[in-house]
Amino acid sequence: MKIRPLYDRLVVQRIEESETMRNGIIIPDSAKEKPQEGKVIAAGNGKKGDDGKVTPLDVKAGDRILFGKYAGNEIKLDGEEYLIIREDEVLGVMSE
């Protein structure tokens, strides 16, 4: 993949839930909600302030993040689906 997000944007790949059954009921793909967890694939350089200085991002490539249900814009590159979101749409960074 050859994409470099600008400013405070992130390219995120959703992490699918590994669980396919809940309480013994199989949930079809059409009824599943999209996961709100993802892995940062690429990050921009930072947010530019009014004074022209660039503030670096707190999130970096490789981080696992949580984001809002309707956050970002979906794109498709090389047959894979990704999200482009702003850093302020990130709810939290997950630690392992």
Assigned token pair, 42:
């690429």
Domains and CATH numbers, the chain: 9-16+27-94 (2.30.33.40)
Sequence-ordered strand ranges (E) for 27-72: 37-43, 47-48, 54-55, 64-67
Query: What per-residue confidence (pLDDT) applies to 30?
Result: 59
Query: What per-residue confidence (pLDDT) applies to 23?
Result: 62
Query: What per-residue confidence (pLDDT) applies to 41?
Result: 93
Model confidence at 10, pLDDT cuts 50, 70, 90, reads: very high
Query: What per-residue confidence (pLDDT) applies to 66?
Result: 92
State yes or no: pLDDT of 83 exceeds 80.
yes
* Cα–Cα distance for residue pair 37/90, rounded to 1 Å: 10
CB–CB of 71/83 below 8 Å? Answer: yes
Q: Once rounded to an integer, what is the mean pLDDT over residues 29-51?
A: 82
Assigned token pair, 22:
């809940």
The counts of H helices and E strands in the chain are: 0, 10
Looking at per-residue pLDDT, the higher value among 34 and 43 belongs to: 43
